[in-house]
Amino acid sequence: MSWIIEEKGFNKNNIELNGNKFMLGNGYMGYRGTLEEFGKDRLVACNLLGLYDRVGDKWREPVNAPNGFYTRLSCDDEQLGLPVSQTTGHRQSLDIYSGLHKRESTFTTSAGNGVSIETERFLGLSDVHLMCMKYSLKAAGSCRIVIETGIDGEVWDINGPHLKDMRPAVKQELIVLNSVTGELGCPVSVAEGLDIPFAAHMDIKMEDRCILRCISFEAQPGESYTFYKYVAVYTGNDIDRTESPTAVSGAAEEACLAAKGRGYIQLAAENAALWEERWKMSDVKIHGDEDAQKALRYSIYHLLSIAPSHSDRASIPARGLSGQVYKGAIFWDTEMFMLPFFLYTNPGIARNLMRYRVHTLDGARRKAAEYGYRGAYYAWESQDTGDDACTHFNVTDVFTGRPMRTYFRDKQIHISTDVVYGIWQYYRLTGDESILLEGGAEVILECSRFLISYAYFKKDKNRYEILDVTGPDEYHERVNNNAFTNMMVKHTLEVAVKTLELLKSKHAAAYEKLMAELDFNPELDALREMNDLLYIPQPDGRSLVIEQFDGYHRLEDISLQELKGRIINPNEYLGGGNGIAATTKILKQADTVLMLNLFKDRYPHEVKKANWEYYEPRTEHGSSLSPCVYALLAADTGNPEWAYKYFLKTATIDLTGESKQYAGTIYIGGTHPAANGGAWMAAILGFGGVGFDGSAVAINPKLPSAWSSLEFKLNLKGQLYTVVIDKTSVTIKSRPENTAGIDFSVAGKLLSCKAGGSISSGYNQNNL
Amino acid sequence: MSWIIEEKGFNKNNIELNGNKFMLGNGYMGYRGTLEEFGKDRLVACNLLGLYDRVGDKWREPVNAPNGFYTRLSCDDEQLGLPVSQTTGHRQSLDIYSGLHKRESTFTTSAGNGVSIETERFLGLSDVHLMCMKYSLKAAGSCRIVIETGIDGEVWDINGPHLKDMRPAVKQELIVLNSVTGELGCPVSVAEGLDIPFAAHMDIKMEDRCILRCISFEAQPGESYTFYKYVAVYTGNDIDRTESPTAVSGAAEEACLAAKGRGYIQLAAENAALWEERWKMSDVKIHGDEDAQKALRYSIYHLLSIAPSHSDRASIPARGLSGQVYKGAIFWDTEMFMLPFFLYTNPGIARNLMRYRVHTLDGARRKAAEYGYRGAYYAWESQDTGDDACTHFNVTDVFTGRPMRTYFRDKQIHISTDVVYGIWQYYRLTGDESILLEGGAEVILECSRFLISYAYFKKDKNRYEILDVTGPDEYHERVNNNAFTNMMVKHTLEVAVKTLELLKSKHAAAYEKLMAELDFNPELDALREMNDLLYIPQPDGRSLVIEQFDGYHRLEDISLQELKGRIINPNEYLGGGNGIAATTKILKQADTVLMLNLFKDRYPHEVKKANWEYYEPRTEHGSSLSPCVYALLAADTGNPEWAYKYFLKTATIDLTGESKQYAGTIYIGGTHPAANGGAWMAAILGFGGVGFDGSAVAINPKLPSAWSSLEFKLNLKGQLYTVVIDKTSVTIKSRPENTAGIDFSVAGKLLSCKAGGSISSGYNQNNL
């Protein structure tokens, strides 16, 4: 069943992996797939989006809330729980269709009694502060059961502890754990209510950073005992800062009581319905390939569970909500790898993601100024303020234990172009000009201004060049004229010109206001000149290969295998000052190939093919962002079987856990939303061959041989479509509620699809 | 006695050091201060200037000729020699006044007999191919002596062996060892003749790479036995390549026979006279400070013994003729640190040094083209062809054993500006326009052209910038707008403009020819514009400090002590990719301070002082080029006591051997001619306060308190002067043979000194 992820039997070595694999999320928070009795040493985390804290001089990272699901069990004074106790059966599962985590374990006591528990839990979609759990127990023989359940304030932290002044309290029928973050004193409150429909003795136990209810009763043989927990999490980010200090706690208590009032069964049913609603728009059906179907749905599940539908003040971190890895920071991953999924299926969330960049523009301005530039230089690792969480020493040298100077923060200037790319994609695909009027245009102009102030002019070649950058291939730092970066800069300048034209012609007042506020008139000549004279590395006349950056072709050309043979320490970083890849042609991840994929309409088939074939054997895929790009361009250039190989790699990453766990000595495990987004892109934009430029939708299918058909939904300018692609034809159905038609081009054949109508067209994959 | 360097007693640990310390040289070759019985494992070397060879894929290095002084001794079948035998007395000395190496050892045989030897040797000045040795022996008791002396082809090589096809031969009264270099097949011949004025049995013994005479006789108690060796060295570089293959050997044999004909005593006397002649022009007398006197004379000795008076096809390597270290390559050391000594005392040699750069211009053109530039980019490590011997991996990482990517070769662009600086200094001080007409102008224009093609224009700042360079401070690679480099670039452009004006006005035909040959007219606008608009980092308004390069002030500001506390491996390289100095403000060597010294007339006293005080505590002096620069600027800014401290450091480096012996895992020991030149500069240009701009000579003395007076010679435009500076006055004597007068400015007071005349002027050091 492709909707159920499960693991039978308990394997201690999988605790960390399963924390990622069985994760729940609702965009507000992520709850790791850990077991109820686990503590912080098993990486339990209720990871909060957009709330950060810093301890001492360690790096800032997101805050994990106290664990409201914490529950431990004893039978006749014997603790029962994993990984210590014996089990005769254990199963952990995730129903991704309903966003439901389940767990079943049967323990055997030392006296031979069998005690089984079953739990079920979910995070609220309509009320994102809510976490609910159902807990059932059955014993084979009569015994005395004590269940301690409540809120555990001892949470997993990489650079914690982040919560201080922890105050457990009882508020009528609720228990509450209030605390504040150490750096900014932001309140974090967790409240819990319990429904216990059987007779039991109840006590409350308060510890320093924990509050627990002790439920004790005599269990009868074969009798089932079930109770329900309602947990609400609120932080100072969620309420008006002018409210009273107890408002956060009050909100949590109120949400808790409201949930309890409605009851678990109803809440679970409503939640499942909301998940179903999401899937209606997001699901992709692959016929003929169960493995691909499951992996792709699982990838989509992760994207759905971390999407911030509730807020435009936060975006999706590089490891989603699976923990504090990568500082909970937002990278270019969001714009370049996750955004397309939302753009094509849920533009509202895409808008939130781009609005986050508008809100963090001032941080980008501060970063530009810090390095002596004008305009906006976005953070490589962005948190709540937009200031850069990335340091100049982002890797530890495994040979000396010293921090290693890296150039992610100060040289990866493409981040500003990525943000503009994202905003422009949003505008083009949705036609929603409000994103430009509400800050998007300002971001575009300020990023252009940054690039103008960054660029140099080479007089004897009469061209602008982009020097001293790090492109996507981070193994080669501080290079000149990185083809990807230069092209993205060009795109930004083009977008700036178009934005100015659009505003001037359609929103004259807004145009004048913005030009005045930004004092942008003096930049106009430079903007146009640089747009005209920017150097874009071109394909070589004979090989058609585009040199990744100036001098790349002079680097040592060795095989990946030979490079790996030189590795001394398995965790050594291959880039950086003395990295072994840095002096070779081996790249960390798609770089020129990514550029060709983003701008595939500007390059002929032969160039894309030649570059794919040249760079593919030289790519180490040291980043989880890489395989999907190779899948996309392979599909585009008519090689779906190669594309399929890379699609599977990107789609299964969080199922198998086969990804880098360390960069130098830094743990980088967790979920991989960019790869998840890459899986969707590879399927729909790659195999489906879908491309939308804001006017017509092109569909040029390249199904892999294993797939008999591919079915998916599209939301294009608010119009909803179902597309079914089989081996020979494409069928497009316009939903009855649609209000406008749209043009499609299937394998080059133009077709109009009226609102509520349906069109179908044959194609021959070999001719594409 | 300040003319004699000596060591009494034998210390095995000093073998390597003494090889440098007691070195003989005549510009054609250097013979290390090793003992006659030593073989290649004791680093015996007869190092040839300008002859290079490469074995396999190891780096090219200079060739060491077979050792014509090799001599070993036995007494009653017992080998006597160091370091094995017992000595009751041992003394090694160098008479730097006469260029004479002496050695005395008394051995005690196992039977208790005392055998003393005395040797004396020198390298020819009038015939630079010649090496002569006198060998005397005396035994306390009668015994059978066997002396084996000849030519040992087993020589010290770092990356050898370089000589193959070694053919020992007897040519009438001579023995000969012929060979050829492996890479280019260049013949190398060593011939030896012997004068033995006592009765002995003589045999010849040929080994694979060695030819020896066996001299055996019964020694009488107390009787002295003396013989003389005449050795001649010739290579294919010394003769017309079109001559017969035996011409090289023939030339060596001929030189040997001629020497033998004249006899050791006469040759030694003539040689001593030639050395005396050199000292007449080069000596510097320091009264009141024996240590300084000795160290400075010793420094001058080294400069004299490596100066290529015989050829303008080679220049002085960074380790002189002390071996193969640093590939026997010519660095910027020559122009910036050694040239001034020759310019002020022996302009003919200065001219040879600069002509070497003219001869290697094509190599510089090839290097520029290799990196995609126009014009001439001189080799960072220059050998015979001017192609760069420096690699991109010039240091080995001590932690991983891997070659480390360094940016000496491709980013130290100041080398081209240094060459131009040298040529222009030569022209200014000598007034000799022929250097410009015979290739110097071409070098200047081609270096300017390189810089034009290297520079970038920053439009929003309306200035040219020099990006991505490594300045003298090699711990900070790939920086932008290094103040030193930018200023040197500016100087090069100024010189190019002046050169063009000079040629146009005085040598119109040569001007037209050159402009046509170089197709230089299209560069003229760019040359003038860049000269006008080049960015030169300026002193900070408040601190007066000139930032060494863009962003230097943002680096970690730690003490030298703290930096050293972070060292894990004593040989670890502090620069390079992960070098611990690279991310701090600690500099390897004078950088901005060197710039201020070179252009001291362009900056006010306060700026020079402020920068000296700022950079001095942050300088590690990881290069032997550094202390003299601090001495010079300290003297200039009125701090002769600080200058004195640094003067002693630079002047004693080859006496004490206190210098870095390793960079990473690479041996970098040897003599330090740049430091030697720096000692002369510190004394004459620093303490003497001498400055010549081609018209008037400024003398602003800053004697250190220990010196009662300083006396030295100057050769200014062919006019010879003796200058005596004491605590209160400066006296200048024009030699009777002078033909023209010159103006002096002593402590600001203008004085004319007519040919053959003498002037004197008082000064007050405190007022300067």
Residue A637 pLDDT grade (very low, low, confident, very high; cuts 50, 70, 90): very high
**pLDDT tens digit string along A89-148?**
999 999 999 999 999 999 999 999 999 999 999 999 999 999 999 999 999 999 999 999
Residue B694 pLDDT grade (very low, low, confident, very high; cuts 50, 70, 90): confident
Instruction: Report CA torsion sign: A569, A574, A579, A582.
Output: positive
**pLDDT tens digit string along A483-505?**
999 999 999 999 999 999 999 99
The predicted pLDDT at position B768 comes to: 53
The predicted pLDDT at position B642 comes to: 95
The predicted pLDDT at position B665 comes to: 66
Domain boundaries, chain B: 4-279, 283-342+658-768, 346-380+389-585+597-606
CB contact under 8 A, A467 and B465: no
CA distance B85 to B78: 10
**Residue whose C-alpha is closest to residue A415's, from A481, A370, A368:** A368
User: Across the beta sheet with B187-195, what order do the strands follow?
Assistant: B4-8, B87-95, B100-108, B114-123, B130-139, B224-235, B187-195, B174-181, B163-171
Q: Which of A392, A457, A568 sits opposite B400 (nearest CB)?
A: A568
Q: Which of A457, A566, A580 sits opposite B457 (nearest CB)?
A: A457
ipTM: 0.90
**Per-residue pLDDT at A657 exceeds 90:** no
Residue B364 C-alpha, separation from nearest chain A C-alpha, in angstroms: 19
CA distance B437 to B441: 6
Q: What is the mean pLDDT of residues A153-157?
A: 93
**Average pLDDT value over all residues in chain A:** 95
Domain B4-279, what architecture? Answer: Distorted Sandwich (2.70)
Residue B497 C-alpha, separation from nearest chain A C-alpha, in angstroms: 19
Q: Which of A405, A459, A578 sits opposite B457 (nearest CB)?
A: A459
The predicted pLDDT at position B1 comes to: 62
Cβ–Cβ contact A461 with B under 8 A? no
Q: Which of B453, B568, B582 sits opposite A400 (nearest CB)?
A: B568
For residue B628, the one-letter residue type is: C
CA distance A628 to A303: 15
Q: Is B138 among the annotated ligand-binding positions?
A: no
Chain B CB contacts of A550 below 8 Å? 372
CATH 3.40.50.300 correct for B346-380+389-585+597-606: no
Nearest CA in chain B to A469: B468
Which residue out of A253, A474, A523, A547 is catalytically annotated? A474
CA distance B436 to B206: 52
CB contact under 8 A, B460 and A577: no
Cβ–Cβ contact A199 with B under 8 A? no
The predicted pLDDT at position B301 comes to: 98
Residue B578 C-alpha, separation from nearest chain A C-alpha, in angstroms: 5
**Average pLDDT value over all residues in chain B:** 95
Which residue out of B474, B477, B523, B547 is catalytically annotated? B474
* H helix intervals, B519-554: 524-533
Domain A4-281, what architecture? Answer: Distorted Sandwich (2.70)
CB contact under 8 A, A578 and B458: no
**Per-residue pLDDT at A592 exceeds 70:** yes
The predicted pLDDT at position A667 comes to: 72
| Interface probe, candidates B404, B407, B456, B558, chain A, greatest A C-beta count within 10 A | B456
Cβ–Cβ contact A404 with B under 8 A? yes
The predicted pLDDT at position B658 comes to: 77
**Per-residue pLDDT at A768 exceeds 60:** no
Chain A CB contacts of B454 below 8 Å? none
**pLDDT tens digit string along A284-313?**
999 999 999 999 999 999 999 999 999 999
Q: In this structure, what are the phi and psi dihedrals at residue A546, rounded to the nearest 5 degrees? A: -95, 125
CA distance B477 to A468: 13
Identify the three-state secondary structure at position B635. helix
Residue A668 pLDDT grade (very low, low, confident, very high; cuts 50, 70, 90): confident
CA distance B540 to B607: 9
Residue A713 pLDDT grade (very low, low, confident, very high; cuts 50, 70, 90): very high
Q: Is B589 among the annotated ligand-binding positions?
A: yes
Residue A535 C-alpha, separation from nearest chain B C-alpha, in angstroms: 14
Q: How many residues does chain A have?
A: 768
The predicted pLDDT at position B767 comes to: 61
Percent of chain A whose predicted confidence (pLDDT) is above 70: 99
Residue A519 C-alpha, separation from nearest chain B C-alpha, in angstroms: 15
**Residue whose C-alpha is closest to residue B194's, from B209, B176, B217, B220:** B176
The predicted pLDDT at position A38 comes to: 97
| Topology, domain B283-342+658-768 | Maltose phosphorylase, domain 3 (2.60.420)
Specify whether B474 is catalytic: yes
**pLDDT tens digit string along B16-44?**
999 999 999 999 999 999 999 999 999 99
**Per-residue pLDDT at B124 exceeds 80:** yes
Q: Torsion-angle region of residue A565: left (phi > 0), alpha (psi -120 to 50) or beta?
A: alpha
Farthest-apart Cα atoms in chain A, separation = 91
Q: Which of B457, B460, B467 sits opposite A452 (nearest CB)?
A: B460
Q: Is B424 among the annotated ligand-binding positions?
A: no
Chain A CB contacts of B404 below 8 Å? 578
Percent of chain B whose predicted confidence (pLDDT) is above 70: 99
Between CA A429 and CA A436, with CA A433 as vertex, the angle to 5 degrees is 105
**Structure tokens, A601:** 């309409």
The predicted pLDDT at position A267 comes to: 98
Residues 663-722 on A with a CB inside 8 Å of B are none
Per 3-state DSSP, chain A is made up of helix, strand and coil in percentages (nearest 5) of: 35, 25, 35
**pLDDT tens digit string along A28-39?**
999 999 999 999
Residue A660 pLDDT grade (very low, low, confident, very high; cuts 50, 70, 90): confident
**Per-residue pLDDT at A604 exceeds 60:** yes
Chain A CB contacts of B393 below 8 Å? 583
CB contact under 8 A, A577 and B580: no
Which of A156-165, A255-264, B653-662 is the least confident region?
B653-662
Q: Which of B393, B459, B578 sits opposite A397 (nearest CB)?
A: B578
Q: Is B432 among the annotated ligand-binding positions?
A: no
Chain A CB contacts of B533 below 8 Å? none
CA distance B650 to B627: 6
**Per-residue pLDDT at A510 exceeds 60:** yes
Cβ–Cβ contact A583 with B under 8 A? yes
**Residue whose C-alpha is closest to residue A103's, from A26, A2, A34, A19:** A34
